[in-house]
C-alpha cells in the first residue's frame, strides 16, 4: 500500500499494525496506538509542500492580489487574532438571527482563490453534520481553515494541519469548537461494556476522549454531565495546543491565539472562552 499524505500514512500504519493483531488483542492495543500520539509530547509531522503557483494560472481578483508570493498561499496582510475573533462573533450573530449574508460564494471569489488561500481563522470542530463552521460563522470560500473529526480531538494529524495553516497561510487564530449534545462525548461517557459492541476504530476514538476527560469531575445530572464534558474536552484540547507550541518553542505557533468555543444547536449561538 502506498501512502502519499500525512493522513494516508497514519492510516497505512494503523492497517499494518491491525493486520498483525488477532481479535484477542483487539481494542486495547489498537487504542494504545491512537492514544499515544494524543498524550505524547513528541511531534514530528511535516506537511508535504505542493508546487508553487505558475505564471499560467488565472490572476487573482483585486481584493486578494498579493504584493509577493510564497509557496502554498498568496501573501496578504494577516488578520490579527483579535480581528479574526471579532469576525467570527459577528458572523455567528448574523447566523443566529437568521440574517446570514452568504458572502464569498461567487464565481469571481472562487476564481481568485485558485491562486492560493489565506483563511483568517482555523476551526477545529466536530464531524457532526449539524455543526458546519462555515454556516455557523456565516463565512464563505477561503475564509476558514476547517479541521473536523468525531469529538473535535487534537491528535497528531490535527496538530500538523494547524501548523500548516499558521506557518504557511499566516492564520493567527485557532478555535477549538465543541457543541451541545455531542454524540461522541456522550458515547465516551458510557461504560466500556456498553461501548464494546462498537467497531474497534470507534472504540479507540471513544477511549481517547475518555482519557482526555480522565481528570474531569462529572456532574450527577446526565444532561449537565454531557455539557460539562463537552466544555472540558475543548479546554483540554486548547491546553494541549498551547503546551505543544511552548514545548517545541515554535515561534510560528506561539504567535497564534488558541481559543475554545461551544456551539448551542438550539439557539445557534457560540460561546467563546480562553
Q: Which CATH number goes with the domain that contains 148?
A: 3.40.1050.10
- Is position 9 within any domain? no
- What number is the average pLDDT over the span 165-189? 96
- The mean per-residue pLDDT over the stretch 40-58 comes to 41
Whether 179 has a binding-site annotation, put simply, is: yes
Give the residue with greater pLDDT, 200 vs 45.
200
The answer to whether residue 225 is domain-embedded is yes
What CA–CA distances, in Å, run from 227 to 21, 137, 158, 165, 181? 37, 21, 23, 30, 7
Closest CA to 115 of 48, 47, 50, 25: 50
Cell representation of residue 84: 479574526
**pLDDT confidence of residue 127:** 98
182 is in an annotated binding site: yes
Distant-in-sequence, close-in-space partners of 103: CB < 8 Å, separation ≥ 6? 138, 139, 140
Domain count, the chain: 1
- Banded pLDDT at 267 (limits 50, 70, 90): very high
- Answer whether residue 27 is part of any domain: no
Q: Are 84 and 120 in contact (CB under 8 A)?
A: yes
| pLDDT above 90 (res 80) | yes
Q: What are phi and psi of 179, to 5 degrees?
A: -150, 150
Query: Domain range holding 119?
Result: 68-273
Question: Comparing 53-67, 96-110, 150-164, 170-184, which segment has the lowest mean pLDDT?
Answer: 53-67
Q: What is the pLDDT of residues 123-149, one digit of tens each?
A: 999 999 999 999 999 999 999 999 999
Parallel/antiparallel/unpaired status of strands 257-263 and 270-273: antiparallel
Q: pTM here?
A: 0.73
Average pLDDT over residues 81-93: 98
Q: Report pLDDT for 76.
A: 53
Mean pLDDT is lowest, of 102-106, 137-141, 185-189, for 102-106
Mean pLDDT to the nearest integer, 184-191 = 94
Cβ–Cβ < 8 Å for 35, 211:
yes
Residue 52 lies in a domain: no
Task: Pick the more confident residue, 191 or 96.
Answer: 96
pLDDT at 224 over 80: yes
Least confident of 5-9, 102-106, 254-258: 5-9
Q: Tell me the angle at which helices 156-168 and 222-247 cross, rounded to the nearest 10 degrees.
A: 60
Residue 132 within a domain: yes
**Average pLDDT of the residues in 56-72:** 40
Q: Could you tell me if residue 110 is inside a domain? A: yes
Binned at pLDDT 50, 70 and 90, residue 233 comes out as very high
**For residue 258, is pLDDT > 90?**
yes
Residue 220 pLDDT level (bands cut at 50, 70, 90): confident
What mean pLDDT, rounded, does the chain reach? 80
Confidence of residue 222 (pLDDT cuts 50, 70, 90): confident
Q: Taking Cα atoms as reference points, which of 103, 175, 182 lies closest to residue 135? A: 103
Q: Is 62 among the domain residues?
A: no
- The answer to whether residue 236 is domain-embedded is yes
Percent of the chain with pLDDT over 70: 72
Is residue 221 annotated as involved in ligand binding? no
Tell whether 157 is in a known binding site.
no
Taken as a whole, the chain contains a residue count of 274
HEC states along the chain? CCCCCHHHHHHHHHHHHHHHCCCCCHHHHHHHHHHHHHHCCCCCCCCCCCCCCCCCCCCCCHHHCCCCEECCEECCCCCCHHHHHHHHHHHHHHHHCCCCCCCCCCHHHHHHHHHCCCCCEEEEEECCCCCCHHHHCCCCCCCEEEEEECCCCCCHHHHHHHHHHHHHCCCCEEEEEEECCCHHHHHHCCCHHHHCCCCHHHHHHHHHHHHHCCCCCCCCCHHHHHHHHHHHHHHHHHHHHHHHHHHCCCHHHHCCEEEEEEECCCCCCEEEEC
Amino acid at each position: 500500500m502506498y501512502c502519499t499524505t500525512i493522513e494516508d500514512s497514519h492510516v497505512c500504519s494503523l492497517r499494518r499494525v491491525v493486520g498483525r493483531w488477532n481479535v484477542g488483542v483487539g481494542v486495547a492495543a489498537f487504542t494504545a496506538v491512537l492514544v499515544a500520539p494524543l498524550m505524547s509530547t513528541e511531534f514530528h509531522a511535516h506537511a508535504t509542500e505542493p508546487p508553487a503557483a505558475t505564471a499560467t494560472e488565472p490572476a487573482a481578483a483585486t481584493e486578494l492580489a498579493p504584493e509577493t508570493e510564497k509557496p502554498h498561499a498568496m501573501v496578504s496582510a494577516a488578520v490579527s487574532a483579535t480581528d479574526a475573533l471579532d469576525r467570527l462573533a459577528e458572523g455567528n450573530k448574523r447566523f443566529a438571527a437568521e440574517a446570514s449574508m452568504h458572502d464569498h460564494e461567487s464565481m469571481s471569489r472562487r476564481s481568485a482563490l485558485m491562486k492560493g488561500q489565506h483563511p483568517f481563522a482555523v476551526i477545529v470542530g466536530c464531524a457532526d453534520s449539524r455543526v458546519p463552521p462555515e454556516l455557523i460563522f456565516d463565512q464563505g470560500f477561503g475564509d476558514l481553515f476547517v479541521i473536523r473529526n468525531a469529538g473535535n480531538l487534537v491528535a497528531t494529524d490535527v496538530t500538523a494541519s494547524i501548523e500548516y495553516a499558521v506557518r504557511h497561510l499566516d492564520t493567527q487564530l485557532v478555535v477549538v469548537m465543541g457543541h451541545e449534545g455531542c454524540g461522541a462525548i456522550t458515547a465516551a461517557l458510557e461504560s466500556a461494556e456498553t461501548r464494546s459492541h462498537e467497531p474497534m476504530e470507534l472504540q479507540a476514538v471513544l477511549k481517547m476522549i475518555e482519557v482526555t476527560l480522565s481528570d474531569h469531575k462529572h456532574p450527577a445530572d446526565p444532561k449537565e454531565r454531557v455539557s460539562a464534558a463537552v466544555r472540558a474536552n475543548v479546554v483540554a484540547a486548547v491546553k494541549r495546543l498551547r503546551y505543544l507550541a511552548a514545548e517545541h518553542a515554535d515561534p510560528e505557533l506561539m504567535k497564534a491565539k488558541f481559543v475554545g468555543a461551544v456551539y448551542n444547536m438550539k439557539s445557534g449561538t457560540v460561546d467563546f472562552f480562553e
